[in-house]
Amino acid sequence: MLTKMNRNMLTLRLTCTLAVLAGILQTDLLDAAPLQVGEADLVPSVRIGYSSTSNAFRSSTNQLESTGVIVSPSARIIAERRGLELEFGYEGRFGSYSVDELNFDDHELYFNANALLGARKRAEFRAFLAQGHDDLGEGTTRGVAGIGDEQVRHVSAGIEGSYTFGAKTARLNVTGGLLLETFDYQNRSDILLGRDFSEISPYGEVSFRLSADTRATTEIRLRSVNSDSGLYDRIE
């Protein structure tokens, strides 16, 4: 049988090995030249991480050790033509833990478009669809998580558009934009009933160039949140 000291040494060696492996994969793949796909560039990457915790559920009464491996693949397709830059991407995050309740798989698809409309005019557009989770013992399950519990799963989607007046190198840039987003919980109605919400956020931004590589930025944003139950509505 392994003694406690031997087990700790084995865990430490495994942690170091995975950390080194993750570093190699990130360096090799992230620094690789983009792949040509027609007139676009494909940029893939993979990250591998190792996680260890002495209290998986962040609980004062149910403390349980857990270790896990997190794999994060991503891919971006980027195309540029005549002042228009388009980007479509995917980001994934998969976690496998010694405590099954902590396993997860998150996904996000996104689309970005940047258009140069003139010497002093730029427009940007962003759209996204994401499936994610809240770690047990944090956020909505803080203090109430334990063995057998489901992680909180949620889906969010949104679009954002903005218009900027001023060249990138100009001393003064002024931007106005609008964000629309929905956020829906997929389970745990026992604690999350009525918490799904939609958000409208108009904003304005003024950017002033202080030097060749330094800018001062001021932003004003209004956030209006409307929840399904009406109990969590707010304006910020």
The pLDDT value given to residue 214: 87
Read off the pLDDT band of 114 (50, 70, 90): very high
**Residue 29, class by beta-carbon neighbours within 10 Å (0-12 exposed, 13-18 middle, 19+ buried)?**
middle
Start-to-end Cα distance in the chain = 58
Q: DSSP readout, 46-98?
A: EEEEEEEES-TT--SS----EEEEEEEEEEEEEEEETTEEEEEEEEEEEEEES
Residue type, 71: V
Residue at token pair 């009525």? 194
| Residues 101/49/19/7 CA torsion (nearest 10 deg) | 0
pLDDT in tens, 188-201: 788 888 889 999 99
Average pLDDT over residues 174-186: 96
Average pLDDT over residues 10-19: 41
pLDDT in tens, 117-145: 988 899 999 999 999 998 877 777 776 66
Q: Which helix (H) or strand (E) holds 11?
A: helix 4-30
Q: Residue 20 has what DSSP assignment?
A: H
